[in-house]
Amino acid sequence: MELRLRGKAAVITGGSVGIGLAIAEGLAAEGVNLLLVARGAERLDQEAARIEAAHGVRVVTAACDVGEPASAETITRLAETTFGGVDILINNAGTGSNETIMEAPDSKWDFYWNLHVMAAVRLARGLVPGMKRRGGGVILHNASICASQPLGYEPIYNVTKAALVMFSKNLANEVVGDNIRVNTVNPGLVLTPDWIKTAKELTAGTGGDWEGHLQAVADEFAPIKRFASAEEIANIFVFLCSERASYCVGSAFFADGGMLRTI
């Protein structure tokens, strides 16, 4: 299927690993130039150089923490000076949490609110004007099945991802008249480095069968009985960036292997 994305420009946060990196690969394969954002400069630059060489697109980087207010200004400025604005924004940066509501301090709530919600708000304010000048665009948010079906050990993650979905819906209504489509993707279990790291830590004292641990998680939660690959989730993002998804506005798309227990 021809997606007609060649020559467009995209910002991807959390773009050096996991789902964000897979989205970067998928868009680059379609001829999209990239501005990749992540905290670790060394890994970010390595992946950018590899993608650029593999796909013949331009890839620039911004090593910053999107949870910090000043980062949105840095990213917006770089997008303007490099590409004259961008056509696509992928708000992907995020991470899981582990706490109880009764014990978690305000500082932890603030950290996740800034990372999962305010980063998306600030980047929309910064990049939407450029999208309008370019005739339209696409904004996609990587939320989680936990926005609708929470996991008990990470209430802050659940709450902030739910807020991200609601922000996405409101932003979609506000900018659709400018030919900017906004949607959310809610993945279920995805085999990212974070999941692997956690599984290894949890099984270190009991034989180290981290793969068996992950399989048990998949067996318990996902009727499909496996984790998704990052590439499987990235394929949905790439499609939603294209004209082929032109009637998709303000929606949340679940990619969860049947994990969601409601309709």
CATH number of the domain within which 121 lies: 3.40.50.720
Kindly state the average pLDDT of the residues 115-134. Answer: 98
With tokens 């150089």, the residue in question is 49
Residues 181 and 204 in one domain: no
**Same structural domain for residues 47 and 161?**
yes
Mean pLDDT of 222-243: 98
Domain count, the chain: 2
Predicted confidence band of residue 69 (pLDDT cuts 50, 70, 90): very high
38: containing domain:
9-190+230-254
Residues 154 and 212 in one domain: no
Which pLDDT score is estimated for 79? 98
Is 102 within a domain? Answer: yes
What is the percent of the chain where pLDDT is above 70? Answer: 100
Beta strands in the chain (DSSP E): 9-13, 33-38, 59-63, 88-91, 137-142, 180-187, 252-255
Per-residue pLDDT at 183 exceeds 90: yes
Instruction: Say how many C-beta atoms besides its own lie within 10 A of residue 40's C-beta.
Output: 12
Same domain for 223 and 178, yes or no, is: no
Please report the pLDDT score of residue 132 as a whole number: 98
- What pLDDT was estimated at residue 14? 98
Report whether 194 contacts 95 (CB < 8 A). Answer: yes
pLDDT in tens, 6-60: 999 999 999 999 999 999 999 999 999 999 999 999 999 999 999 999 999 999 9
Q: Do 58 and 31 form a contact (C-beta atoms < 8 A)? A: no
Question: How confident is residue 210, by pLDDT bands cut at 50, 70 and 90?
Answer: very high
Compute the radius of gyration of the chain from its Cα atoms: 18
Residues 89 and 133 both lie in one domain: yes
In this structure, the answer to whether residues 162 and 221 fall within a common structural domain is no
Torsion sign across C-alpha atoms 40, 26, 83, 89: negative
Residue 39 lies in a domain: yes
Round to whole Å and give the CA distance between 15 and 90.
Answer: 9
CA 99 → CA 108, 114, 153, 186, 212, distances in Å? 9, 17, 6, 22, 25
Same domain, yes or no, for 40 and 59? Answer: yes
Q: Is 159 left (phi over 0), alpha (psi -120 to 50) or beta?
A: alpha
- Give the model's confidence band at 176: pLDDT under 50 very low, under 70 low, under 90 confident, else very high: very high
**Predicted pLDDT at 150:** 97
**Which residues form the catalytic set?**
157
Return the pLDDT at 113: 98
Phi and psi at residue 101, in whole multiples of 5°?
A: -65, -40
Helix, strand, coil share (%) of the chain residues, nearest 5 = 50, 15, 30
Q: What is the reported pTM?
A: 0.97
What is the predicted pLDDT for the residue at 1? 85
Same domain, 153 and 170: yes
171/211 same-domain check: no
How crowded is residue 215: how many other Cβ atoms within 10 Å of its Cβ?
15
Residues 201 and 97 in one domain: no
pLDDT attached to residue 63: 98
Percentage above 90 pLDDT, the chain:
98
Q: Distance between CA atoms of 43 and 46, rounded to whole angstroms?
A: 5
Same-domain check for residues 222 and 245: no
With cut-offs at 50, 70 and 90, classify the pLDDT of residue 110. very high
pLDDT at 212: 97
User: What confidence tier does 120 reach under pLDDT thresholds 50, 70, 90?
Assistant: very high
